[in-house]
């Protein structure tokens, strides 16, 4: 179930993610932090508790993670120009993210 709207803006180096597991449910927890190099692993002493997470994506089946990975691969292909566009509904500009968040 999805409730509300949230926009995570990746590429600015200020979203920190960590994986978690609770009662068989996998999660990707995200918080906002000071900008850093993308992919940089912050030392263990600079840790945070998942209770501080601002966004939590939960997965009850491993194949739902596979579906997310596939969608991320498509998004990357669209950005780098290798996605085989067949229909107009995937063209750039169809979704205005700022307008989406205001509605």
Spell out where the chain has E strands: 15-22, 25-32, 55-59
Same domain, 27 and 76: no
The upper half-sphere exposure of residue 74, i.e. CA atoms within 13 Å in the direction of its Cβ, equals 11
Domain span holding position 79: 61-103
- Which of 60, 75, 90 represents a domain boundary (last residue)? 60
Supply the pTM of this predicted model: 0.73
Task: Please list the pLDDT of the chain residue by residue as tens digits (103 residues).
Answer: 778 888 888 888 888 888 999 999 999 999 888 787 887 776 655 677 778 888 899 999 999 999 999 999 998 998 898 988 766 555 555 667 778 778 7
Same domain, 48 and 30: yes
Residues sharing a CB contact under 8 Å with residue 26, sequence separation 6 or more, in sequence order: 19, 20, 58, 59, 62, 65
- Which of 45, 60, 75 represents a domain boundary (last residue)? 60
How many domains, in total, are found in the chain?
2
Measured CA to CA, the distance from residue 92 to residue 75 in angstroms comes to 11
Quick check: 47 and 54 in contact, CB under 8 A? no
């Amino acid at each position: 179930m999805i409730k509300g709207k949230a926009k995570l803006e990746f590429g600015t180096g200020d979203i920190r993610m960590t994986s978690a597991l609770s009662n068989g449910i996998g999660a990707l927890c995200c918080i906002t932090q000071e900008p850093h190099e993308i992919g940089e692993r912050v030392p263990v002493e600079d840790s945070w508790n998942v209770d501080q997470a601002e966004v939590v994506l939960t997965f009850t089946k491993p194949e739902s993670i596979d579906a997310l990975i596939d969608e991320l691969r498509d998004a990357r292909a669209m950005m780098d120009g290798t996605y085989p566009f067949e229909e107009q509904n995937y063209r750039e500009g169809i979704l205005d993210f700022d307008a989406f968040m205001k509605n």
